[in-house]
Amino acid sequence: MPNFENFIPQATADGSFTFFSQQFNEAFHSHFGAKQESFFKFVSPTQLEIVAHQPILRLLDICYGLGYNTAAALETIWRINPHCYVELIGLELNPSVPQAAINHKLFDNWNYEHTDILTQLAFKQEVQTERLQGKLLIGDARDAISSVHQLGFQADAIFLDPFSPPQCPQLWTVEFIQKVALCLHVDGLLATYSCAAAVRTALLTAGLQIGSTPPVGRRSPGTVAAHPQNSRFHTHSILPPLSYAEKEHLLTRAAIPYHDPYLNDQATIIVQRRQQEQQASSLEPTSRWRKRCMTQALPDFFSRIGGS
């Protein structure tokens, strides 16, 4: 039986609840609002309100967690187009997390009408309805992403939502994100809450273009990414531009990405490898750049991005 006692609901500012992970020593969401993060950090940047007009829509939810991002996506898609057929793949390390969310009835707070779908995903890892085919792949996402690619799955929207890079570096490496990019449809969009320079460098190294998404609750922006061949570039700008300070941040040691050559290293090894690269780098230390640019860029930017 799953140990639901490890996951005690914690209220966030928007009235929704989250959990705290003992394994990663972080909450699954910010205290500003778990539900609002799903809509404004993931659903909105991937433009699901536009994509929902397609007859078939494919979602890849990396680090499914409580199921909030998938829940927000389904609610949005079917509100816009009740006939849209959704193909969903979620990746999750610990099945007890989504199961605990159901057990604690966290979606009652949402007044959510698709809880049956989330329940089947949590406890059976698959669900099939007239307008949805969903699978939840349990285990290390580094292994699962290869399976997703082998299936030929091309997502219209990817939600990249691991714990923070210092706590879960294995899912922010160049090698992992390159695998993720292979699963992104040429006209698809990837969204993540992170604005870390190392993460943005990994996205760029994977051949994607990036933009900055507005801060939600907390002060830090998020990131949205797309293939340069995305046809929507021809009609309008789909990637909000990076600020001057954000571009400068990508030229410091903070932008040195995490590496995991064989996609099987422990987190401590990945962090140590990056620290060694930073120490040997000729790039400007982020702390020195911060002091130099304090008078040249938005003062509050530096408190938002962190130093590494």
Is 298's pLDDT higher than 60?
A: no
- Confidence band (pLDDT; 50, 70, 90) for 232? confident
Tell whether the model's pLDDT for residue 62 goes beyond 90.
yes
Contact 163, 24 (CB under 8 A): yes
The residue behind tokens 């949805």 is 132
Residue 96 pLDDT greater than 90, yes or no: yes
Structural domain that includes position 41: 33-249
Is 306 a residue whose pLDDT tops 90?
no
Dump strand ranges (E) for 113-183: 126-129, 132-138, 155-160
| Domain membership flag for residue 281 | no
Does any domain span residue 112?
yes
Give percent above pLDDT 70 in the chain.
91
Per-residue pLDDT reduced to its tens digit, 73-93: 999 999 999 999 999 999 999
**Is 83 within the bounds of a domain?**
yes
The pLDDT value recorded for residue 187 is 96
Q: Is residue 266 part of a domain?
A: no
Please indicate, yes or no, if residue 96 is contained in any of the structural domains. Answer: yes
Q: What pLDDT score does 109 carry?
A: 84
pTM of the model: 0.93
290 falls in which pLDDT band (50, 70, 90)? confident
Q: How confident is the model at residue 5 (pLDDT cuts 50, 70, 90)?
A: low
| Banded model confidence at residue 295, pLDDT cuts 50, 70, 90 | low
Residue 2 has a pLDDT of: 53
pLDDT tens track for 176-211: 999 999 999 999 999 999 999 999 999 999 999 999
Instruction: Classify residue 126: in a domain, yes or no.
Output: yes
Residue 235, classified by CB atoms within 10 Å of its CB into exposed (0-12), middle (13-18) or buried (19+), is exposed
**Tokens 């930017």 appear where?**
301
Q: What is the pLDDT of residue 1?
A: 47
Angle at 19 between CA 14 and CA 22, to 5 degrees: 145
Dist. CA 249–CA 252, nearest whole Å: 6
* Residue 308 confidence class, pLDDT cut points 50, 70, 90: low
- Domain holding 164: CATH number? 3.40.50.150
Domain count, the chain: 1
Tens of pLDDT, residues 44-58? 999 999 999 999 999
Higher per-residue confidence, 230 vs 257? 257
Cβ atoms within 10 Å of 219's Cβ, excluding its own: 12
Banded pLDDT at 238 (limits 50, 70, 90): confident
Q: Give, rounded to a whole angstrom, the gap between the first and last alpha carbons of the chain.
A: 40
Q: Is residue 7 part of a domain?
A: no
pLDDT in the model for residue 289: 76
How high is the pLDDT of residue 56? Answer: 98
Work out the average pLDDT over 3-15. 85
For residue 185, tell me if it sits in a domain. yes
Model confidence pLDDT, tens digit, residues 133-183: 999 999 999 999 999 999 999 999 999 999 999 999 999 999 999 999 999
